[in-house]
Amino acid sequence: MDTDSQVQTQLEAKLQRYLEVATEEETDTLERIITGLLEKQAGKQGTYLGALTNARAAPLEDGTFEMTLPIHPLIYNPLEIVHGGITATLLDSAMGALVDVQLPASKTAVTSQLNIHYIRPGTGSLLRCVARVAHAGSKQFVVEGDVYDDREKLVAKATGTFFVIGRAN
């Protein structure tokens, strides 16, 4: 048996063991993960993180950028609310994507500073981040982002600085 076949057999055995004792929540979480990975494989998701969290993103007509993230136990902290690092990742991703869509194909941007104010816990069925450019320069962008829950309550507010660099081939 070649190495790829061995890995696949081991993975199938682990999956079977997991499913034999999985709770409904664990089964639902695994289903979301596998669905996301299949979307990544099909090119419907840009990153594995986006695939695992089922994040959705789109530029809006008013020049802002929106990213939504379903709330699910996969992104909980031990208090069963959205982990602050996930909220930070949502902000960083939405703000960085906004900068990226405004740059020529030969350029991209990396986060050089991120400042977040957490207002309330992330609860409900989804988080929605709206990002907008505060300053667009040739070398750096300053972007603002707000995260809302499904009741449109402010969860977090952030500013970020993004350094413009050449895109690697």
Rounded Cα gap, residues 52 and 32, in angstroms: 7
At 81 the pLDDT is 96
Tokens of 93: 């991703």
At 5 the pLDDT is 87
The whole-model pTM stands at: 0.89
Q: What is the pLDDT along the chain (169 residues), one digit of tens a residue?
A: 678 889 899 999 999 999 999 999 999 999 999 999 999 999 888 888 888 899 999 999 999 999 999 999 999 999 999 999 999 999 999 999 999 999 999 999 999 999 999 999 999 999 999 999 999 999 999 999 999 999 999 999 999 999 999 998 6
Any idea where the domains of the chain sit in the sequence? 1-53, 55-169
Assess contact for 81 and 72: CB atoms under 8 A. Answer: no
CATH code given to domain 55-169: 3.10.129.10
Rounded Cα gap, residues 133 and 60, in angstroms: 13
